[in-house]
């Protein structure tokens, strides 16, 4: 059996069961993509995993993780105006970070073609919101394709690449969590290994203008709008939208994965409505939609999250004088969450009770209770030691603590309760600065991960320094971008393609002129508590670097080594005084408390790191 990298480079046509994220990489290869960039974020990191499964010297394109989504988009844009087909991928909220660059793309001539792949997250499975990025397509005049399953991810990427290249524009490909992660058998076309990439720079300002200032803005905007008309024509010609069914008076308009939920619900429905499945939610194929509306008495628009299709289609019907009854989500639906088959069944039952029966109620007695499993830090996580130590330095009441995005966000939970506000990547220092204003009594502490430090953390730090805000910033340095699957960052000493000079966080802070920098390993809990006390006493901007390698990554690497011996701590039951600091205050999930108050160690979880030893006042934890 071939490994993933070999499979992705197979020259002859083949079919294989793959994830949407994997199918995308094969499509990139077949389409002749030359530059791919990203910043990690769910649901897209497996795209990088698939790329990395191809050995560096056989990879048909250049790939990098950039420092953030904006930089990733800029690198891809630069490659595109140098004549290369380029792609950037990132998660939903990544587009907010990239937006300042992205919003300009439609005004500029991306001669090589540029595809922006989004991992949107209806249901907020792994994001701080469930923003609907179809809005950005409209705002930026960028065509957007929306596949429903891995086969369409593969097909639509190639369509997007073709369109982007032929127009010299940016095109978006909007994936959603379950389209990224769904698996199905995909039939792949053949691929002849690419000719070596042409390394002669092709950038020519005559392909521009590339300076969208004053007099250039209007003509460029007119050109972007004219390109959208061409796209509408193109999508009709390609026939990517299709009608399922024929002859019902009722119609349904869907797109993306919602279409699959609708098919599932309607499989056995008597007098099933015709379905117009769209491929491109913007710009809409107006002719096809108008014809569909005109040939049905009643049309339901079924779309996840916001009402972008509904708003446009109702306006289209008005403009064309159509009298079709259009039912959208404005009347009958909740605008929250994923459109699973169950949810779609409820919606279609409310719309057409004669067609779709209600869900059969489930007898609660038949449900098997599943224990709640709140997200938690791993056994041995250095962040746990940091929180445990930092808590000792803070006043019992009154400290204000601000979280950032990453594994350490979990510190907001019991028993640590550190990090009471969370906004987005890199925001902690800025928010903490605001909280420190007109505040002479309550200490303010911000937390920031090391990947986030480089991603969007630096401007807040420079601001705090420049405007002399009084707060303690704790940089939680674990050497990796842990929460999204251990991607390297600028201080790791590696990039995705091999070794690279590390940019140490301390040196960056010193270079900026931060006066008060402390650092220690988080396993030295007493020292960290003491350092925090000193930092708080300064009543000025100070940074504490709280360092310990990510123990999940460390242990995983150790396990691969020959002669690896698993280690665990144990409880000396004689010495245990049932104080329960290990379970209650330190709260490592490896400890279990029995009904009689005795504590045991779950050897499946414990990694024997020993960070807990110092937390037991009775000294009952031993290696």
Binding site for ligand TPP (CB under 6 A): 39-41, 69, 91, 93-94, 97, 405-408, 425, 449-452, 476, 478, 480-484
Nearer to ligand TPP, 481 or 590 (CB): 481
Nearer to ligand TPP, 48 or 581 (CB): 48
Q: State in angstroms the smallest separation of the CB of 76 from ligand TPP.
A: 16
Q: State in angstroms the smallest separation of the CB of 126 from ligand TPP.
A: 8
In angstroms, rounded to a whole number, what is the distance separating the alpha carbons of residues 154 and 143?
17
Nearer to ligand TPP, 103 or 583 (CB): 103
If you count DSSP H runs as helices and E runs as strands, how many of each does the chain have, helices first? 22, 24
Nearer to ligand TPP, 61 or 454 (CB): 454
Helix axes 341-351, 257-266, angle to 10 degrees: 60
In angstroms, rounded to a whole number, what is the distance separating the alpha carbons of residues 552 and 405?
18
In angstroms, rounded to a whole number, what is the distance separating the alpha carbons of residues 167 and 504?
43
In angstroms, rounded to a whole number, what is the distance separating the alpha carbons of residues 71 and 88?
10
Q: State in angstroms the smallest separation of the CB of 121 from ligand TPP.
A: 10
The DSSP 8-state label assigned to residue 352 in this structure reads -
**Radius of gyration of the chain, Cα coordinates, nearest whole angstrom:** 27
Nearer to ligand TPP, 31 or 175 (CB): 175
Q: State in angstroms the smallest separation of the CB of 364 from ligand TPP.
A: 36
C-alpha distances in Å from residue 165, one per residue of 7, 146, 158, 199, 230: 26, 18, 11, 18, 13
Contacts of residues 608-611 at CB distance under 8 Å and 24 or more positions apart, as own/partner, are 608/566, 608/567, 608/568, 608/569, 609/379, 609/380, 609/523, 609/551, 610/569, 611/380, 611/382, 611/384, 611/385, 611/523, 611/525
Output the six-digit token pair for 501. Answer: 């000079």
Largest alpha-carbon pair distance within the chain? 85
Measure CA 409 to chain center.
16
Output the six-digit token pair for 37. Answer: 């960039």
In angstroms, rounded to a whole number, what is the distance separating the alpha carbons of residues 416 and 421?
14
C-alpha distances in Å from residue 283, one per residue of 52, 225, 389: 34, 10, 54
Burial of residue 97, with CB atoms counted within 10 A of its CB: 0-12 exposed, 13-18 middle, 19 or more buried: buried
Q: How many CB atoms lie within 10 A of CB 253?
A: 29
Q: State in angstroms the smallest separation of the CB of 183 from ligand TPP.
A: 23
Nearer to ligand TPP, 34 or 452 (CB): 452
Backbone φ, ψ for residue 240 (5° rounding) = -75, -30
Decide if 486 contacts 63 (C-beta within 8 A): no
Nearer to ligand TPP, 277 or 383 (CB): 383
Sign of CA dihedral 568, 573, 574, 577: positive
Helix axes 525-538, 382-393, angle to 10 degrees: 50
Q: State in angstroms the smallest separation of the CB of 338 from ligand TPP.
A: 19
Decide if 458 contacts 483 (C-beta within 8 A): no
Nearer to ligand TPP, 279 or 410 (CB): 410
Nearer to ligand TPP, 20 or 449 (CB): 449
Q: State in angstroms the smallest separation of the CB of 436 from ligand TPP.
A: 22
Return the residue nearest ligand TPP (CB atom): 449
Q: State in angstroms the smallest separation of the CB of 560 from ligand TPP.
A: 21
Q: State in angstroms the smallest separation of the CB of 115 from ligand TPP.
A: 19
Output the six-digit token pair for 394. Answer: 């803070």
Nearer to ligand TPP, 303 or 477 (CB): 477
| Backbone torsion region of residue 34, taken as left when φ is above 0, otherwise alpha when ψ lies between -120 and 50, otherwise beta | alpha
∠ CA 192-195-199, nearest 5°, is: 155
- Beta-sheet pairing, 400-402 with 170-176: unpaired
Output the six-digit token pair for 74. Answer: 């800029």
Q: State in angstroms the smallest separation of the CB of 140 from ligand TPP.
A: 18
Q: State in angstroms the smallest separation of the CB of 550 from ligand TPP.
A: 6
Nearer to ligand TPP, 399 or 410 (CB): 410
Nearer to ligand TPP, 148 or 476 (CB): 476
Nearer to ligand TPP, 51 or 93 (CB): 93
Q: State in angstroms the smallest separation of the CB of 42 from ligand TPP.
A: 7
Q: State in angstroms the smallest separation of the CB of 492 from ligand TPP.
A: 10
């Amino acid at each position: 059996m071939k490994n993933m990298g070999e499979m992705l480079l197979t020259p002859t046509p083949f079919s294989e069961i793959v994830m949407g994220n994997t199918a995308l990489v094969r499509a990139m290869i077949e389409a002749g993509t030359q530059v791919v960039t990203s910043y990690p974020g769910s649901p897209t990191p497996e795209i990088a995993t698939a790329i990395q499964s191809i050995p560096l010297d056989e990879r048909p394109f250049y790939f990098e993780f950039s420092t953030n989504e904006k930089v990733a988009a800029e690198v891809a844009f630069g490659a595109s105006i140098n004549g290369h087909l380029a792609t950037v991928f990132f998660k939903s909220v990544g587009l907010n970070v990239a937006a300042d660059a992205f919003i300009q793309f439609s005004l500029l001539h991306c001669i090589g073609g540029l595809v922006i792949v989004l991992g949107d997250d209806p249901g907020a499975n792994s994001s701080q919101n469930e923003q609907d990025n179809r809005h950005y397509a409209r705002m930026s005049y960028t065509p957007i394709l929306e596949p429903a399953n891995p086969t369409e991810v593969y097909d639509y990427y190639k369509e997007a690449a073709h369109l982007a290249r032929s127009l010299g524009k940016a095109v978006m490909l909007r994936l959603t969590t379950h389209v990224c992660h769904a698996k199905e058998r995909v039939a792949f076309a053949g691929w002849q290994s690419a000719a070596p990439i042409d390394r002669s720079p092709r950038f020519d300002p005559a392909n521009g203008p590339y300076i969208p200032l004053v007099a250039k803005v209007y003509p460029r905007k007119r050109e972007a709008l004219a390109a959208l008309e061409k796209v509408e024509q193109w999508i009709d010609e390609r026939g990517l939208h299709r009608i399922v069914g024929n002859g019902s008076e009722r119609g349904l308009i869907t797109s993306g994965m919602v279409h699959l939920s609708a098919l599932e619900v309607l499989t056995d429905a008597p007098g099933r409505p015709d379905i117009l499945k769209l491929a491109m939610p913007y710009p809409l194929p107006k002719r096809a939609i108008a014809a569909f509306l005109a040939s049905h008495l009643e049309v339901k628009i079924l779309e996840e999250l916001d009402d972008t299709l509904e708003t446009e289609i109702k306006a289209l019907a008005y403009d064309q004088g159509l009298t079709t009854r259009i039912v959208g989500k404005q009347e009958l639906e909740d605008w929250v969450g994923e459109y699973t088959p169950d949810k779609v069944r409820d919606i279609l039952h409310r719309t057409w009770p004669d067609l779709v029966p209600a869900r059969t109620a489930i007898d609660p007695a038949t449900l098997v209770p599943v224990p709640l499993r709140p997200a938690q830090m791993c056994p041995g996580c250095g962040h746990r030691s940091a929180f445990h130590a930092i808590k000792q330095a803070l006043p019992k009441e009154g400290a204000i603590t601000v979280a950032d995005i990453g594994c350490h966000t979990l510190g907001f939970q019991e028993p640590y309760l550190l990090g009471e506000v969370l906004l987005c990547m890199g925001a902690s220092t800025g928010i903490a600065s605001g909280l420190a204003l007109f505040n002479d009594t309550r200490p303010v502490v911000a937390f920031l991960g090391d990947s986030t430090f480089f991603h969007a953390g630096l401007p807040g730090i420079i601001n705090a320094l420049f405007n002399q805000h009084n707060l303690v910033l704790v940089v939680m340095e674990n050497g990796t971008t842990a929460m999204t699957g251990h991607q390297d960052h600028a201080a790791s000493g590696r990039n995705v393609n091999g070794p690279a000079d590390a940019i140490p966080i301390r040196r960056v802070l010193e270079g900026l002129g931060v006066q008060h920098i402390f650092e220690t390993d988080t396993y030295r809990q007493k020292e960290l508590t003491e350092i925090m006390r000193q930092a708080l006493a300064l009543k000025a901007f100070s940074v504490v670097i709280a360092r310990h390698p990510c123990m999940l990554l460390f242990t995983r690497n150790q396990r691969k080594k020959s002669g690896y011996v698993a280690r665990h701590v144990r409880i000396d039951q004689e010495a245990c005084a049932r104080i329960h600091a290990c379970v209650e205050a330190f709260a490592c999930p490896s400890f279990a408390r029995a009904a009689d108050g005795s504590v045991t160690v779950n050897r499946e979880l414990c990694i024997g790191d020993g960070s807990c030893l110092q937390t037991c006042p009775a000294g009952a934890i031993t290696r």
